[in-house]
Structure 1
């Protein structure tokens, strides 16, 4: 595997964990924080990163950096990714990759024009279990899925300043947890889905709390999705085929799936290590840069199309968002 120099934009919790598990096959070269007050230097010291930059622009201007990991909040992703691409850097960006489809389309075009890789750091697209399930489906000739049911619910304290409830930070269930449920459904669907119907109940701050979505494809593969930001739900996905169904619990970083056949017997499929979720993303990104091809981009684009359609139906926009 080719070794690349990586830079991190953002020094929050997810960046901290990213640096903790960063694999030796790659080189974590530098870090920058927004409106830095010593955070980048403290982060670099903690994780033994050689270079701490005074701002994002300085990091992006360093020709030594090949790949930038964008670990900022959702509302900053578009600007951060665009700046990195314009600086000639490949980008691995946290999910949801952008706020809406128009932003993503612009960035995908820019990346293509500059022959750069833009990849979403979506664990579902990189965990080995899902590759193992592809092989299982082929070996057992499961064909197209008939029905997918997927839920994700959590319990965020009712604090209007919380990132997940704050519209200024592009909060809400869809962009934070819904991206997992939609990515799960898209990972199993054999073609691009469309949104048939959706309903949403907002939080007191106006961002989406509880919602349900119904998706379908040209071959009538259906997906039912349930999301909740302030109500716990079992984070579980079920994918039903003609001859049985798969059940994946805690599917974001799952390492085990259960296939239940028509006879009611269960078969366990195992692959991967959930503590290495970021490592799989990082190594897949490095391989994509080396090959010049990202096999996950089509899923990211289809998922963002559904997110945008749902938010339009709900009438939910964020401050200064003019392109929904």
Structure 2
């Protein structure tokens, strides 16, 4: 007889974030998240990610110091909802405010470089939502501006900041798992084709699977590889707007470590990562903000559960890492190097697939 057992499908990103916040309500905020001197933060944009960030900060008993948005009424409503101290009339007014130390950019991908140029040149530290830029040339430019003005630039891709991956990397680097051989990562969402003007399929909003979901898979792959892949083969499918909707990617680095990635915006897939080593494999589901992994040991099949951090605090970990980097933590500063490697891969793959945004023409 066929197995008709019903299982609950993973929540979408917004619902998962809501559930994560609900799971920690009433619990004391951990005292090991924000350990560096506190910075005064402002946010550019007040969409979904900005709301999640403000809600996440509230769990820590902290508030944003300022907000600016293209539509002022939305910024005012956002400020009222989260107790934000100041609403700026323009980004220029924000950049000129000496009381603001750091800025979180949460606007669409294709606007990032414009805000990065001015915020970094104004001497502000910047945490920028994924994808940090459209391509490697833009990221190189932003890094140069940050260096010239002595400020920290950080990529907000959650993979780079979750304590779970820091713990797994610590153990991997200590030799517990043996040599890393293969990373396999899936990420699939189902987005309707009915409205091709939405951000997922619109080239004018830097749509496509690579910058929206590929950045997570490639970031996790790169974290566990000893070096940047130097060989890449791939196939990408584009939709009628010219952006990528699906892709299959195989990478190899000088150490012979392989990465195999599958992406799609038009079919549901589990967000599943399996990192295979000589002595074990590590499996992580719903990996963008994961706080739990399973290690399966090669010798005896024993399963070990590893838990670190909390999904609900994902955006706090990002901000805490920037504050630590500003305070001189070189391990946190080094995260931008991983982001640059991932951006190089994404830029290369899009070029091979013929995905070109208006800003790149």
Instruction: Give the whole-Å Cα distance in 2 for the aligned partners of 1:241 and 1:147.
Output: 7
Aligned mate of 2:260, from 201, 213, 224: 224
- Measure the CA separation in 2 of the matches of 1:175 and 1:229: 11
Q: State whether residues 231 and 253 of structure 2, in contact with CA within 8 Å, keep that contact through their aligned partners in structure 1.
A: no
Q: Is the 8 A contact 1:123 1:278 kept in 2?
A: yes
2:311 paired with 1:274: yes
1:251 to 282, 287, 294: 287
Match of 2:6 in 1: none
1:3 aligns with 2:38: yes
Residues 151 and 226, structure 1, Cα contact 8 Å, conserved in 2: yes
2:337 corresponds to: 298
* 111-120 or 256-265, which deviates more: 256-265
Contiguous gaps of at least 5 residues in structure 2 = 1-35
Question: 1:81-140 deviations in whole A, cap 9, x for unaligned?
Answer: 111011111100000100000100111111111111000001111111111112332455
What are the within-5 Å matches in structure 2 for residues 177-188 of structure 1? Answer: 177-188=213-224
Q: Report what 1:114 is aligned to.
A: 149
SS in structure 2 at match of 1:96: coil
Match of 2:32 in 1: none
Q: Identify unmatched segments of 5+ residues in structure 1.
A: none
Distance 1:38 1:267 in 2: 50
How far, CA to CA, are the matches of 1:119 and 1:282 in structure 2?
Answer: 9
Q: CA deviation at 1:141?
A: 3.0
TM-score of the aligned structures, taking structure 2 as reference length: 0.86
Of 74, 84, 94, the residue aligned with 2:109 is 74
Partner of residue 167, structure 2: 132
Which moved further from structure 2: 195-204 or 41-50?
A: 195-204
Instruction: Select 2:128's aligned residue among 74, 84, 93.
Output: 93
- Aligned pair count reads 321
Encode CA deviations 1:130-167: one digit per residue, 9 max, x unaligned: 11112332455323311110010000122112111111
Whole-angstrom CA distance in 1 between matches of 2:95 and 2:113? 15
Question: What CA distance in whole angstroms lies between the structure 2 residues aligned with 1:222 and 1:22?
Answer: 38
1-structure distance, mates of 2:338, 2:39: 25
More deviation, 132-141/221-230? 132-141
* RMSD between superposed Cα atoms in Å: 1.4
Instruction: Report if the CA contact (8 A) 1:194-1:306 is conserved.
Output: no
Using the alignment, how far apart are the partners of 2:306 and 2:189 within structure 1? 26
